[in-house]
Amino acid sequence: MVKVTVCGAAGGIGQPLSLLLKQSEHITHLSLYDIVNTPGVAADLSHINTKSKVTGHKGSDQLEEAIKDSTVVVIPAGVPRKPGMTRDDLFKINAGIVRDLAVAAAKFAPKAFMCIISNPVNSTVPIVAEVFKQFNVYDPRRIFGVTTLDIVRASTFVSELIGTCPSSLRVPVVGGHSGVTILPVLSQVEGTEKLSQEQIKQVTNRIQFGGDEVVKAKDGAGSATLSMAFAGARFALNIIEAVVAKKTGIVECTYVDLAADVAGAAEVKELIGNDLGFFSVPVELGPNGVEKILPIGAINNYEKELFAAAASELKGNIVKGSTFITESP
């Protein structure tokens, strides 16, 4: 029994993400939760002739049933940005939404692998971690901030410049998921030595602010949904491959509590300074989630400057998320 619950399933990301998950032969039950419209989305998807049973659950009265005993919970619930907003501007609304969903998961699916898409990811992941701690069910190997869209974008943008196949080009992107906290490590990508320093700076900036490109183009109608659904499905399906199909050697950069693998995180901590609890790092996935945190590896002087510029914003975002739970009455 492999139950995957999508929270926010009727939304711009939730619908195409659920469609992509419906195609998996590993999933036996696709549970769709939202505060609106899930009966319709579920009825529609349920006609697709793949293995999973699809159920729709609407409103908080049905949250327990939706989430109970999930293997994987994916959370793209909450409001998206409009032009002129930062991801942090979404905290006011999304922090409470993510907290309530995390409480339900901690109570009814404490062993689930939690994939957090809702922004600001830098803060919403610490929120989920603190909620799980309060319920004494915290396992840092099972809670992930989904930063896969940064990696997908980086492959696309860098391939355009160096003329490689985007689907096979792996570009490590570490750090967080907002502006300067997004840290592409282009010096490790073969082919980028052909680029001038000016081109490296431009493409780094494009990766860091790729989300803004979409927000601007959508002109008030939201942020990335289709590319995020693609990236979110890739991440959730990789978790399922590692956990259910026991496939080894799957590596994704994802935003995790560095306590998930203390030994593996030592190199990362040295690189970033010891006081950041959460960071997106290359992670080898396994049956328990984070199997190993892999080294980020060598970075050049320009990247060192980027890392230094990310630290204080990321730290502030993490503290804001954690204290939202620990200091709430």
Under rule CB under 6 A, residue 12 binds ligand NAD:
yes
Q: Which range in 122-130, 207-215, 297-305, 314-322 contacts ligand LMR by CB under 6 A?
A: 207-215
Q: Which CB contacts under 8 angstroms, 24+ apart, belong to 297-301?
A: 297/172, 297/185, 297/188, 298/187, 298/188, 299/185, 299/187, 299/271, 300/187
- Least Cβ distance, residue 106 to ligand LMR (angstroms): 25
Contact string (CB under 6 A) for ligand NAD, positions 175-214, x = contact = --x-------------------------------------
Distances (CA, A) of 50 to 1, 152, 245, 247: 15, 27, 18, 22
Beta strands in 163-318 (DSSP E): 173-175, 182-184, 251-257, 278-286, 289-293
Q: Shortest distance, CB of residue 88 to ligand NAD, whole angstroms?
A: 11
HSE-up (13 A, CA, CB side) for residue 27: 30
Binding mask 39-78 for ligand NAD (x = CB under 6 A): -------------------------------------xxx
Side-chain-side CA neighbours of 162 within 13 Å: the count stands at: 24
Output the smallest distance, CB 267 to ligand NAD, in A: 25
Read off φ and ψ for residue 202, nearest 5 degrees.
Answer: -65, -45
Active site residues: 177
Binding positions for substrate are 81, 87, 119, 153
**Applying CB under 6 A, which residues contact ligand NAD?**
7-8, 10-14, 33-36, 76-81, 90, 94, 97, 100, 117-119, 121, 146, 149, 177, 222-225, 228
**Applying CB under 6 A, which residues contact ligand LMR?**
80-81, 87, 119, 149, 211, 214-215, 223-224
